[in-house]
Amino acid sequence: MQFMMPCFRAMTAQDLSTVMEIETAAYAHSWSEGNFRDCLSAGYEMVICDLEQQIIGYGVMSMAAGEAHLLNLCIHPQKQGRGHGRQLLNHLMQIADQKKAGTVFLEVRASNNRASTLYHMAGFNEIGFRTGYYPAGSGREDAIVFARSILK
Ligand SMILES: CC(C)(COP(=O)(O)OP(=O)(O)OC[C@H]1O[C@@H](n2cnc3c(N)ncnc32)[C@H](O)[C@@H]1OP(=O)(O)O)[C@@H](O)C(=O)NCCC(=O)NCCS
Protein backbone atom coordinates (compact mmCIF):
# COMPACT_ATOMS: atom_id res chain seq x y z
CA MET A 1 0.00 0.00 0.00
CA GLN A 2 1.29 3.50 -0.89
CA PHE A 3 1.11 6.25 1.74
CA MET A 4 1.54 10.00 1.20
CA MET A 5 5.00 11.50 1.63
CA PRO A 6 5.25 13.92 4.58
CA CYS A 7 6.91 17.36 4.55
CA PHE A 8 9.55 18.44 7.04
CA ARG A 9 10.15 21.85 8.63
CA ALA A 10 11.74 23.33 11.74
CA MET A 11 9.78 23.10 15.00
CA THR A 12 8.81 26.34 16.74
CA ALA A 13 7.28 27.10 20.15
CA GLN A 14 3.87 27.38 18.43
CA ASP A 15 4.01 23.65 17.67
CA LEU A 16 4.48 22.57 21.27
CA SER A 17 0.84 22.00 22.24
CA THR A 18 0.39 19.54 19.35
CA VAL A 19 3.83 18.05 19.94
CA MET A 20 2.89 17.41 23.59
CA GLU A 21 -0.38 15.71 22.55
CA ILE A 22 1.61 13.31 20.37
CA GLU A 23 4.38 12.87 22.95
CA THR A 24 1.97 11.87 25.75
CA ALA A 25 0.01 9.57 23.40
CA ALA A 26 3.15 7.84 22.11
CA TYR A 27 5.27 7.36 25.26
CA ALA A 28 4.47 5.92 28.69
CA HIS A 29 7.27 8.13 30.06
CA SER A 30 7.03 11.27 27.98
CA TRP A 31 9.14 14.43 27.83
CA SER A 32 7.69 17.54 29.48
CA GLU A 33 6.95 20.70 27.50
CA GLY A 34 9.90 22.19 29.41
CA ASN A 35 12.20 19.56 27.89
CA PHE A 36 11.15 20.64 24.40
CA ARG A 37 11.50 24.35 25.30
CA ASP A 38 15.00 23.71 26.65
CA CYS A 39 15.96 21.98 23.38
CA LEU A 40 14.53 24.90 21.35
CA SER A 41 16.52 27.38 23.48
CA ALA A 42 19.67 25.29 23.07
CA GLY A 43 19.30 25.50 19.28
CA TYR A 44 18.99 21.76 18.75
CA GLU A 45 17.82 20.46 15.40
CA MET A 46 14.06 20.06 15.89
CA VAL A 47 12.02 18.84 12.97
CA ILE A 48 8.27 18.66 12.49
CA CYS A 49 6.86 15.97 10.24
CA ASP A 50 3.70 17.27 8.53
CA LEU A 51 1.22 15.22 6.56
CA GLU A 52 -1.56 17.07 4.74
CA GLN A 53 -0.95 20.12 6.96
CA GLN A 54 -1.23 18.10 10.15
CA ILE A 55 1.65 17.46 12.53
CA ILE A 56 2.11 13.70 12.75
CA GLY A 57 5.57 13.49 14.30
CA TYR A 58 8.85 15.14 15.18
CA GLY A 59 12.50 14.55 15.86
CA VAL A 60 15.05 16.22 18.13
CA MET A 61 18.80 15.99 17.59
CA SER A 62 21.71 17.71 19.32
CA MET A 63 24.95 18.42 17.45
CA ALA A 64 28.35 18.91 19.07
CA ALA A 65 31.98 18.27 18.21
CA GLY A 66 31.26 16.43 14.99
CA GLU A 67 28.71 14.13 16.65
CA ALA A 68 24.94 14.09 16.43
CA HIS A 69 22.75 12.64 19.17
CA LEU A 70 19.20 11.71 18.24
CA LEU A 71 17.23 12.49 21.40
CA ASN A 72 13.64 11.95 20.28
CA LEU A 73 11.96 10.43 17.23
CA CYS A 74 8.22 10.10 17.37
CA ILE A 75 5.27 9.45 15.07
CA HIS A 76 1.65 9.79 16.25
CA PRO A 77 0.40 6.32 17.29
CA GLN A 78 -2.40 6.47 14.69
CA LYS A 79 0.11 7.19 11.91
CA GLN A 80 2.73 4.58 12.81
CA GLY A 81 3.64 1.63 10.59
CA ARG A 82 3.28 3.61 7.33
CA GLY A 83 6.93 4.41 6.70
CA HIS A 84 6.86 7.91 8.21
CA GLY A 85 9.28 7.07 11.04
CA ARG A 86 11.78 5.86 8.47
CA GLN A 87 11.26 9.01 6.34
CA LEU A 88 11.71 11.27 9.37
CA LEU A 89 14.86 9.39 10.39
CA ASN A 90 16.24 9.74 6.83
CA HIS A 91 15.59 13.48 6.97
CA LEU A 92 17.41 13.80 10.30
CA MET A 93 20.35 11.81 8.91
CA GLN A 94 20.54 14.28 6.01
CA ILE A 95 20.67 17.18 8.48
CA ALA A 96 23.44 15.42 10.43
CA ASP A 97 25.33 14.97 7.16
CA GLN A 98 24.87 18.63 6.14
CA LYS A 99 26.12 19.73 9.58
CA LYS A 100 29.19 17.53 9.09
CA ALA A 101 28.50 15.07 11.90
CA GLY A 102 30.73 12.02 11.54
CA THR A 103 28.60 9.77 13.74
CA VAL A 104 24.99 9.74 14.94
CA PHE A 105 24.28 8.22 18.37
CA LEU A 106 21.00 7.35 20.05
CA GLU A 107 19.57 5.31 22.94
CA VAL A 108 16.55 3.02 22.77
CA ARG A 109 14.66 1.21 25.53
CA ALA A 110 15.65 -2.45 25.47
CA SER A 111 11.95 -3.38 25.09
CA ASN A 112 11.33 -1.04 22.11
CA ASN A 113 11.54 -3.60 19.31
CA ARG A 114 9.83 -1.36 16.78
CA ALA A 115 12.38 1.42 17.16
CA SER A 116 15.33 -1.02 17.32
CA THR A 117 14.19 -2.66 14.07
CA LEU A 118 13.93 0.73 12.40
CA TYR A 119 17.46 1.73 13.51
CA HIS A 120 18.98 -1.62 12.47
CA MET A 121 17.38 -1.28 9.04
CA ALA A 122 18.70 2.28 8.77
CA GLY A 123 22.27 1.06 9.21
CA PHE A 124 22.78 1.69 12.92
CA ASN A 125 24.85 -0.74 15.00
CA GLU A 126 24.40 -1.61 18.66
CA ILE A 127 27.51 -0.35 20.44
CA GLY A 128 26.61 -0.77 24.10
CA PHE A 129 24.14 -0.74 26.99
CA ARG A 130 23.30 1.76 29.69
CA THR A 131 21.99 -0.20 32.67
CA GLY A 132 18.83 1.20 34.27
CA TYR A 133 18.94 4.29 32.03
CA TYR A 134 15.17 4.80 31.72
CA PRO A 135 12.38 4.96 34.30
CA ALA A 136 9.96 2.04 33.88
CA GLY A 137 6.65 0.90 35.41
CA SER A 138 8.40 -1.25 38.00
CA GLY A 139 11.86 0.23 38.49
CA ARG A 140 14.28 1.01 35.66
CA GLU A 141 14.92 -0.25 32.13
CA ASP A 142 18.20 -0.61 30.23
CA ALA A 143 19.02 1.42 27.13
CA ILE A 144 20.66 0.01 24.02
CA VAL A 145 23.11 2.52 22.54
CA PHE A 146 23.17 2.67 18.74
CA ALA A 147 25.61 4.47 16.45
CA ARG A 148 25.91 5.00 12.72
CA SER A 149 28.79 6.63 10.87
CA ILE A 150 27.91 9.02 8.12
CA LEU A 151 29.99 7.92 5.18
CA LYS A 152 31.20 10.40 2.59
C1 LIG B 1 9.65 4.12 16.45
C2 LIG B 1 8.74 4.93 15.51
C3 LIG B 1 9.31 6.33 15.36
C4 LIG B 1 8.72 4.23 14.13
O5 LIG B 1 7.90 4.99 13.28
P6 LIG B 1 6.87 4.26 12.28
O7 LIG B 1 6.31 5.32 11.41
O8 LIG B 1 5.94 3.44 13.07
O9 LIG B 1 7.88 3.30 11.49
P10 LIG B 1 7.85 2.96 9.94
O11 LIG B 1 6.45 2.70 9.51
O12 LIG B 1 8.65 3.97 9.22
O13 LIG B 1 8.60 1.56 9.95
C14 LIG B 1 9.99 1.49 9.80
C15 LIG B 1 10.41 0.09 10.15
O16 LIG B 1 10.17 -0.12 11.53
C17 LIG B 1 9.80 -1.47 11.73
N18 LIG B 1 8.45 -1.54 12.27
C19 LIG B 1 7.39 -0.74 11.99
N20 LIG B 1 6.32 -1.17 12.67
C21 LIG B 1 6.73 -2.25 13.38
C22 LIG B 1 6.10 -3.13 14.30
N23 LIG B 1 4.79 -2.99 14.62
N24 LIG B 1 6.82 -4.10 14.88
C25 LIG B 1 8.14 -4.26 14.58
N26 LIG B 1 8.79 -3.46 13.69
C27 LIG B 1 8.09 -2.48 13.12
C28 LIG B 1 9.86 -2.14 10.41
O29 LIG B 1 11.14 -2.65 10.20
C30 LIG B 1 9.62 -1.01 9.46
O31 LIG B 1 10.14 -1.28 8.22
P32 LIG B 1 9.16 -1.90 7.08
O33 LIG B 1 8.03 -0.92 6.91
O34 LIG B 1 10.04 -2.00 5.89
O35 LIG B 1 8.70 -3.21 7.61
C36 LIG B 1 7.28 4.98 16.02
O37 LIG B 1 6.82 3.68 16.19
C38 LIG B 1 7.12 5.76 17.30
O39 LIG B 1 6.96 6.97 17.28
N40 LIG B 1 7.09 5.07 18.46
C41 LIG B 1 6.87 5.70 19.74
C42 LIG B 1 8.02 6.58 20.13
C43 LIG B 1 9.32 5.83 20.13
O44 LIG B 1 9.42 4.75 20.67
N45 LIG B 1 10.33 6.47 19.50
C46 LIG B 1 11.66 5.91 19.42
C47 LIG B 1 12.44 6.31 20.62
S48 LIG B 1 14.13 5.78 20.46
What spacing in Å lies between the alpha carbon of 138 and ligand 1's midpoint? 25
Q: What is the pLDDT of residues 62-121, one digit of tens each?
A: 999 999 999 999 999 999 999 999 999 999 999 999 999 999 999 999 999 999 999 999
Task: Please check whether the domain covering 7-149 is classified as CATH 3.40.630.30.
Answer: yes
What spacing in Å lies between the alpha carbon of 63 and ligand 1's midpoint? 24
28 DSSP 8-state letter: S
Partners of 109 in beta bridges: 143
Q: Model's pTM, two decimal places?
A: 0.95
For a ligand 1 pocket test, name from 51, 87, 114 the mutation site with the most ligand atoms within 8 angstroms of its C-beta. 114
The angle at the Cα of 40, spanning 52 to 69, to the nearest 5 degrees, equals 90
In the chain, where are the structural domains located? 7-149
Which residue lies with its CA nearest to atom 33 of ligand 1? 83
State the pairing for strand pair 45-51/54-64: antiparallel
The angle at the Cα of 88, spanning 57 to 76, to the nearest 5 degrees, equals 25
CB-based contact 74:57 (threshold 8 Å): yes
> Which positions are annotated as active-site residues?
107, 119
